[in-house]
């Protein structure tokens, strides 16, 4: 729905090199909660693909299970999609990419889908250097199952049920860098200025590109000190002991600049996240430095955003496996089947 709004905001966009308008990249009306960050990410993907003039039907969108994994339903409806099972999108997209290296692969996942049940598959698709864009819509909760804390939730954050998270959150960006991702970025769903260029860069990168997008869950928000606003309603909801009332909210875009490259994001519950984006001096090609910078920022309770690491000379899995340039799914008998003559020679080796 927020998605629908977004099209109101920018009316007809110009056509791109393929002669397509913005609409050619859109999808059906979203069923996510009004104001859900995930729909903003969808809008950013639409804009990026449009601006890059990618043929919509040459894109494949894959996901696991979760609100974030439902999101692909609502963009790029000319593209085939695969809403697979929880945490297993990485293996599905690996196979898909092996079968046809010519499509553009966008994997969309959630923090639960990726950092909990999917951590093993995520780590290995990173290591495998699959040529794809992997986006995590990171809200620190399990949205679709109603607000349990996820493994990326910050230490000390509160879950809907009120208990405080006493474990450190997994930093997927650092993890990706360490496991060999060749394009790693972080951004915020409401910040199109930053997000769209990152998505475009990632889509143009050959190899594994990862973007960790902070995408607040407006319904099961679990950030520290959730105090401000709608006391009355929250009281009501809590005591009704059925969290079945979800006030309609606006997408969060409001950010207040506080010093160079640093801004606060005010969440619906009044809490804030402080984002520090990398500045000109930052060298995204130094692996160790990148990880240090992320750590340093975290130490100051800030989240580093922007392009964190890139290795432009990256190779992808096809290069590693030395597979042919033609899509494997297009090969026919003539290439695939060695024929009977060869088989008879093989028979002889078993006599």
Ligand X SMILES: Cc1ncc(C[n+]2csc(CCOP(=O)(O)OP(=O)(O)O)c2C)c(N)n1
- Residues of this chain that interact with ligand X (CB under 6 A) are 65-68, 86, 110-113, 137, 139, 141-145, 150
Out of 36, 76, 176, 185, name the contact with ligand SF4 by CB under 6 A. 36
Residues in the interface with Mg ion (CB under 5 A) total 4
Chain residues 31-50 in contact with a second copy, contact rule CB under 8 A: none
The item of ligand SF4, Mg ion, ligand X, none sharing an interface with residue 218, based on CB under 5 to 8 Å by kind, is ligand SF4
Number of residues that this document lists for the chain = 351
118 contacts 88 by C-beta, under 8 angstroms: yes
Of 155 and 292, nearer to another protein (C-beta) is 155
What is the closest distance, in whole angstroms, from the C-beta atom of residue 311 to another protein in the complex? Answer: 22
Alpha carbon 299 to chain centroid, angstroms:
24
Residue 91 binds to a second copy (criterion: CB under 8 A): no
Touching Mg ion, residues 100-139 (CB under 5 A): 110-112, 139
Give the long-range contacts of residues 241-244, CB within 8 A, separation 24 or more.
Answer: 243/146, 243/147, 243/160
Piece in contact with ligand SF4 (CB under 6 A), picked from 114-122, 189-197, 215-223, 336-344? 215-223
Nearest to 183 by CA among 194, 171, 199: 199
Q: Where in 62-81 is the site for ligand SF4 (CB under 6 A)?
A: 67
Which one, 42 or 306, has the nearer CB to ligand SF4?
Answer: 42
Binding to a second copy by residue 300, rule CB under 8 A?
Answer: no
Please identify, using beta-carbon distances, which residue of 20 and 134 lies nearer to ligand X.
134
| Residue 128 C-beta: closest distance to ligand SF4, Å | 25
Only one residue has tokens 């494949």, namely 60
Distance between first and last Cα of the chain: 69
Q: What does 174 interact with, of a second copy, Mg ion, ligand X, none (CB < 5 to 8 A by kind)?
A: a second copy
Place of tokens 């042919």: 324
Residue 73 and residue 56 in contact, taking contact as beta carbons nearer than 8 Å? no
Identify the H or E element spanning 296.
helix 287-299
Per DSSP, what are the bridge partners of residue 229? Answer: none
Minimum distance, C-beta of residue 72 to another protein, in the bound complex (Å): 8
| DSSP letter assigned to residue 220 | S
The pairing of strands 141-142 and 148-149 is: antiparallel
Distances (CA, A) of 202 to 221, 291, 311: 28, 19, 12
Q: Which is nearer to ligand X, 108 or 278 (CB)?
A: 108
Q: How far is the CB of 183 from another protein (least distance, A)?
A: 21
Residue 190 interacting entry, from Mg ion, ligand X, ligand SF4, none, C-beta within 5 to 8 Å by type: none
Nearest to 250 by CA among 278, 235, 229: 229
Helix intervals (H) in 80-128: 89-99, 111-115, 119-127
If the CB atoms of residues 146 and 326 are measured against ligand X, the closer one turns out to be 146
219 touching ligand SF4, by CB under 6 A = yes
226 contact partners, CB below 8 Å, separation of at least 6: 158, 269, 270, 271
Q: Which residues contact 53 (CB under 8 A, 6 or more apart)?
A: 16, 17, 18, 20
**Smallest distance, a second copy to C-beta of residue 121, A:** 8
Residue number, 193 or 349, with CB nearest to another protein: 349
State how far the Cα of 188 lies from the Cα of 71, in Å rounded to an integer: 16
Nearest-angstrom CA–CA distance, 108 and 152: 16
Tell me which of ligand X, another protein, ligand SF4, none is bound by residue 111, counting a contact when its beta carbon lies within the kind-specific cut-off of 5 to 8 angstroms.
Answer: ligand X
Structural tokens at position 233 = 């309603």
Minimum CB distance to ligand X smaller for 30 or for 276? 30
Residues that bind ligand SF4 (CB under 6 A): 32-33, 36, 38, 67, 139, 143-144, 217-220
Residue ranges binding a second copy (CB under 8 A)? 116-121, 123-124, 127-129, 151, 166-168, 170-171, 174-175, 178-180, 287-288, 291-292, 295, 320
Which residues contribute to the site for Mg ion (CB under 5 A)? Answer: 110-112, 139
């Amino acid at each position: 729905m927020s998605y629908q709004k977004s099209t109101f905001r920018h009316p007809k966009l110009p056509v791109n090199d393929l002669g397509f308008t913005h609409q050619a990249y859109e999808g059906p009306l979203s069923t996510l909660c009004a104001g859900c960050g995930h729909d903003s990410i969808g809008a950013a993907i639409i804009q990026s693909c449009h601006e890059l003039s990618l043929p919509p039907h040459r894109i494949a969108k894959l996901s696991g299970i979760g609100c974030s994994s439902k999101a692909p339903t609502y963009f790029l409806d000319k593209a085939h999609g695969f809403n697979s099972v929880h945490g297993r999108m990485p293996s599905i997209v690996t196979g898909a990419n092996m079968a046809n290296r010519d499509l553009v692969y966008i994997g969309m996942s959630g923090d639960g889908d990726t950092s909990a049940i999917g951590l093993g598959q995520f780590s290995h698709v990173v290591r495998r250097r699959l040529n794809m864009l992997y986006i995590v819509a990171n809200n620190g909760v399990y949205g679709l199952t109603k607000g349990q804390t996820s493994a990326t939730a910050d230490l000390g954050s509160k879950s809907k049920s009120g208990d405080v998270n006493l474990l450190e959150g997994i930093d997927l960006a650092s993890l990706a860098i360490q496991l060999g991702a060749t394009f790693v970025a972080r951004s915020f769903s409401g910040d199109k200025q930053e997000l769209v260029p990152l998505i475009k860069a990632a889509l143009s990168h050959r190899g594994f590109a990862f973007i960790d997008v902070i995408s607040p869950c407006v319904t099961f928000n679990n950030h520290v000190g959730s105090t401000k606003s709608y006391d009355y309603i929250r009281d009501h909801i809590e005591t009704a002991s059925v969290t079945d009332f979800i006030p309609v909210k606006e997408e969060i875009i409001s950010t207040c600049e506080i010093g160079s490259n640093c801004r606060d994001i005010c969440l619906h519950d009044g809490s804030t996240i402080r984002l520090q984006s990398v500045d000109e001096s930052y060298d995204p090609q130094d692996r160790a430095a990148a990880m240090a910078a992320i750590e340093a920022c975290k130490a100051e309770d800030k989240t580093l955003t922007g392009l964190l690491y890139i290795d432009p000379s990256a190779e992808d899995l096809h290069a590693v496996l030395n597979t042919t340039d033609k899509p494997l799914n297009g090969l026919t008998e003539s290439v695939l089947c060695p024929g009977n003559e060869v088989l008879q020679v093989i028979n002889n080796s078993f006599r």
